[in-house]
Structures are given as C-alpha cells and as structure tokens.
Amino acid sequence: MNNALKNRLIDRVFKYFAILSTLFGLVMLFIFLIDILNQGLSRIDWSFITSLPSRFPGKSGILTALTGTIWVFLLTTIISVPIGVAAGIYLEEYGKKSRMANILEINISNLAGVPSIIYGILGLEIFVRIMDLGASLLAGSLTLALLILPIIIVATREAVRAVPKTIKEASYALGATKWQTIWRQVLPVSSGNIITGIILALSRAIGETAPLIVIGALAYVPFVARTPMDEFTVLPIQIFNWISRPQKGFIINAASAIIILLAFVFIMNGIAVYIRYRTQKKIKW
Amino acid sequence: MKDNKNSYKLQVKNINVYYGHNKVLKNVSMHIEANTVTAFIGPSGCGKSTYLRLFNRMNDYIGNFRKEGDVFIDGRNIYDKKIEVEELRKTVGMVFQKPNPFPKTIYENIAYGLRIQGINKKNLLDEVVEHSLKQAVLWDEVKDELKKSALELSGGQQQRLCIARALAVEPSVILMDEPASALDPISTSKIEELIFELKKNYTILIVTHNMHQAGRVSDKTGFFYLGELIEFGDTKELFTNPSNERTENYITGRFG
C-alpha cells in the first residue's frame, strides 16, 4: 500500500471514529430522555408542581423543592456573578504579571476541579457554624457560589484576554481611563463568552446535591421557603430521596421531578442565550 | 496651535528609554514646530515607534518601561506628576499601524472620544461626527450609512475613520505609526493627501518604513538607527544631501 492510500485510509477511519463518538453521546442522551419522559411525563400536572411533600407518592409534590431550587439559583447568581466577573477582570486587566499571579492562576484553575463535597464541608464550617447561618438558603447559596466562582473567574479571564489589544489601545489613545475602556470596549466584546461561562457554572450549581446535603439541606421540608434564612430543599435532593424509596410511586415522582429540573435548566439556558444574542447584536463585528 | 515662533510646539530633551536592561533610545533631543509634518524613518527595531509613543505616553503600559529626560508639549512637561495622562491624550491623538476601529457603528466610533468625556448631546455629537468625517474626507462615502458597522468598511476607509475618530476630540498633535503600511497604493495616496491637508491645523508626527512617503509628506525627517537619532533636518536636505554616511546608506537602500 502506498503512502497516499494509507493516509487516506487513516483519514477515513478517523472520520468514522469521530462520527461514532458523537453518536454515542447523542444516543445515550436520547435513550435517557425517552426513558425519563416515558416514566414521568404522565405524573406531571398542576397539583404535582403545587403540592407539598407527603408520605403518599400520589399526593406528593415538588413545590418546596422547586421553590428551593429557584431561590438557590437566584441567590447563587447574585452572589457569584458580580464577584466572579470582577475577580476575572481584576486578574486580567489590573493584576501585575508576577510569580504570585501565576501561582494564583494555577490555583484558581485547580479549585474548579475540587470535588463539590469538599465545598460542602467548607460551607458547613464557615457559613453554617462560624457565621451561624444555619442550614439556610443563604448558607447553601454561598456554598454553591464558592463552588462555581472558579469557573466564572476562569471563563471571564479567557473572554477578557481574547479582546484584541488594538481595540484597548485605540480607547486609551482617545483619553479613556482604564475603567471606561473595560466598561465600554472590553465587556461588550467579551460578554458573550462571559455569559456562556456563567450559564455552564450555574447549570452545574443547580444540579449539585452533595454540598447541600453536607450543610444540612433536608429532603423533607413541609413549607415553602419565604426568606433566605429559611431551611430548604432543592430538586436534586428531592429526586435523590424519592429514588431511594422502595415504593414504585416515588420512583415515578423522581422521574417527573427530573423532567421539571431539566426543563428549568433548559429555560434558564434559553434566557441566557437570548441575553447573549441581544448583547452580541450591539457589537458590530 | 501656537503662533509664537519662539516657542516650539514639541520639545524633547535628552531622552533615554529602557526596556529592562535594554536601552532603546539614546539621548535623543528634538524641537518640532507647530503645523508641520515630521517623519521618523529607520530600520525595524531602531526605536522610532517607541519614540512616537513617548508623546502620548502609550509606553507607560509596557511593564519594564523606564525613561530619563523630558518631553514638552506647548511648554508643559508631559511626564510631570501633575499631568493627567487621559487629559494629555485628548490633545495628542494617535493613528495606529493597522486600522483598529471599534466593533461599533461608524457613528459611535467617532462619538466615542466625546462620550467618554461625558458629552452625550445628540445634536453636538451629530455635528462633531459630520465635521470629523469631512476633515478625514470620508463623509461623502459613509454619510448614508453611519449606523453600519465600522468593520464593514474597506481597509483604507477604516484608517480614515480612525483618523476622523482621533480628530473628533480636537487634538493639536497627531501621531501616526506607519498609518499606510497595511493599505493598498490608492488608499495610501488618499491618506497622504489627507496628511497634507491636516497640516494646516495640526502638528503631525509620522513613523514610516516607506522613504518615498517620508519624502512626499514631511517637512522634517529624523533618521533613527539603533536607538540614536542619527540625523534630523529638512526632509529635502536629508534626502538629497545627507550629512551622515549611515543616513545616506539607509536612504539609498544599502541596508535596512
């Protein structure tokens, strides 16, 4: 076999390998979705969404878990986004390039890979015990905010770094201050990538169970949380709890709750994609 | 724009510039009169761009930049601690090597310099946009599409837009760092005509690789070599009768 033929063969083999790999992921996701929809769709109605938990599967609803998830989502966003974006901008635009900065950068990237239960232990110690917040929504959201801060910081840094230096120079040369340049040039250009990073980070936070269990979020909360200081549960904990029950009815409830959680994440992502689209439309590339 | 012939628009006194241990400009001094075009020529790495960026302090951002000596504009030392660098840059505009319009509309590109000063009155901005684009001889080409992205313009139009953008904040000095090196010959000649026009109202410093360009547009020329200002004088004189052998070798193409 001559070389050209061999290369073409390798080329083709790799192509099919890549197609197979893509299909593998898609097929698995498809099977999962079909299975979940098949099990849980029929159980979803208005009373499922508006009912409190109960020991009877047929009367049980996800009201507390869903409101808990919405609370956690909002609080975590409010806490983590400003801090994460500001820290990313500081490190990229203001921080001096030094050995210290390098060590810091490596550590932040590493933090993004620390198992979430470790953050749970940290949150339990700092927020629940030292700051005496108890097993509250605020303590849980602070813990999740810590968990996703590294992801937001790294995404912001990369997005800011990708802004052409020539644009910043042009802004400075017209007499703009650093802040004006960041606010009027750097952020509009990089916001798309920053928002993408935030979506990924928040999606992860919404799906977390372990750190919230560690700080003491309960599976059975018979009331709807009204303030950030209330005890709470979230959808993943509710799902985990139902799946571990022996009754068939609870398994179906779990499947239904999974559908609601997926829908929630999809809707949030959709809103974020829309925001990104709107901000990018103002950038006239 | 000073009419007083006794005081120079720009004065450079014994400037030394270092990047770390690397000395990139060696004891350069110079006087430049108002409403003239001064060209800086020399081989790559001779320090001419660094020199140009001294006048609006764009070197300040380079981490290991250090300088000795002083630069005066209208008699004021621009490296004085009391000088606000943002204020300085409103009087010293800059045009870069590659056209670098903002990813905004044509209109917003021009208005940017005013908006960052807090000027947002629409009729004032309209006026400045039109006036600046006319000065840069771009108005007739873009007046109907001011809301279009600046990046949809051709390279030559983009560079004239960048010139208009610099003019909008009403500087008295304009720095140009090889403004035509990324452009085709027709766009280049348009830029050169523009420089000739702008000379009436502005003091222009231009770095160029193109010696013919220096000869065409400038009144004075400075030849830099390895960080030294080898020769500085009337452009005609320098090109026809250079007093230094290295200048002669460079302009006749024997090196560089």
Q: What is the mean pLDDT of chain A?
A: 91
Task: Closest CB to B103: pick one of A96, A176, A189.
Answer: A189
A167 reaches B (C-beta below 8 A): yes
Query: Is residue B234, in this structure, part of any structural domain at all?
Result: yes
A46 reaches B (C-beta below 8 A): no
**Interface touch A177/B169, C-beta < 8 Å:** no
Query: Is residue B126, in this structure, part of any structural domain at all?
Result: no
CA A126 to chain B, closest CA, distance in angstroms equals: 39
CA A209 and chain centroid, separation: 13
Q: What CATH number has the domain bearing residue B19? A: 3.40.50.300
pLDDT interval class at A95 (50, 70, 90):
confident
Measuring CA to CA, which residue among A80, A45, A39, A40 is closest to residue A61? A45
Mutation target to probe the A interface, by most A beta carbons within 10 A, among B49, B56, B85, B86 is: B86
Mutation target to probe the B interface, by most B beta carbons within 10 A, among A96, A165, A174 is: A174
Digit-coded pLDDT (tens) for A35-50? 999 998 888 899 999 9
Q: How many domains does chain B have?
A: 1
According to the model, what pLDDT value does residue A225 have? 87
What are the distances in angstroms from CA A18 to CA A4, A11, A15, A266, B236? Answer: 21, 11, 5, 27, 66
Can you tell me the distance from the alpha carbon of B179 to that of B215, in angstroms, rounded to the nearest whole number? 15
Helix A63-89 to helix A248-282 angle (10° resolution) is 30
According to the model, what pLDDT value does residue B1 have? 43
Query: Is residue B55, in this structure, part of any structural domain at all?
Result: yes
**Which residues of chain B does A189 touch, with a Cβ-Cβ cutoff of 8 Å?**
103
Least confident segment among A49-58, A152-161, B232-241: A49-58
Query: Is residue B70, in this structure, part of any structural domain at all?
Result: yes
For residues B135-172, one letter each, b for 16 or more C-beta atoms within 10 angstroms of the residue's C-beta and e for the rest, the string is bbbbbeebeeebeebbbebeebbbbbbbbbbbbbbbbb
Least confident segment among A52-56, A63-67, B118-122, B136-140: A52-56
* Residue B2 dihedral angles phi and psi, to the nearest 5°: -105, 135
Query: Is residue B148, in this structure, part of any structural domain at all?
Result: no
Q: Which structural domain, as residue segments, surrounds residue B231?
A: 10-98+172-251
Q: Say yes or no to pLDDT of B5 above 70.
A: no
For residues B110-121, one letter each, b for 16 or more C-beta atoms within 10 angstroms of the residue's C-beta and e for the rest, the string is bbbbbbbeeeee
The predicted complex's ipTM stands at: 0.92
Mean pLDDT of B78-85: 93
Mean pLDDT of A167-188: 95
Query: CA of B89: which chain A residue's CA is closest?
Result: A175
Query: Is residue B132, in this structure, part of any structural domain at all?
Result: no
Can you tell me the distance from the alpha carbon of B47 to that of B7, in angstroms, rounded to the nearest whole number? 26
Mean pLDDT of B154-183: 94
**Interface touch A285/B149, C-beta < 8 Å:** yes
A281 reaches B (C-beta below 8 A): no
Query: CA of B107: which chain A residue's CA is closest?
Result: A284
H/E element holding A224?
none
Can you tell me the distance from the alpha carbon of B189 to that of B198, in angstroms, rounded to the nearest whole number? 14
**Interface touch B100/A177, C-beta < 8 Å:** no
Q: Say yes or no to pLDDT of B4 above 60.
A: no
Can you tell me the distance from the alpha carbon of A213 to that of A228, in angstroms, rounded to the nearest whole number? 17
Q: Say yes or no to pLDDT of A222 above 90.
A: no
Query: Which pair of structure tokens corresponds to residue A225?
Result: 């949380």
Task: Closest CB to A173: pick one of B89, B101, B149.
Answer: B89
Query: Is residue B196, in this structure, part of any structural domain at all?
Result: yes
pLDDT interval class at B256 (50, 70, 90):
low
Mean pLDDT of B28-41: 95
Task: Closest CB to A175: pick one of B87, B104, B152.
Answer: B87
Query: Is residue B156, in this structure, part of any structural domain at all?
Result: no
Residue B16's contacts (CB-CB under 8 Å, 6 or more residues apart) are: B23, B25, B26, B27, B28, B67, B68, B69
According to the model, what pLDDT value does residue A1 have? 66
According to the model, what pLDDT value does residue B3 have? 47
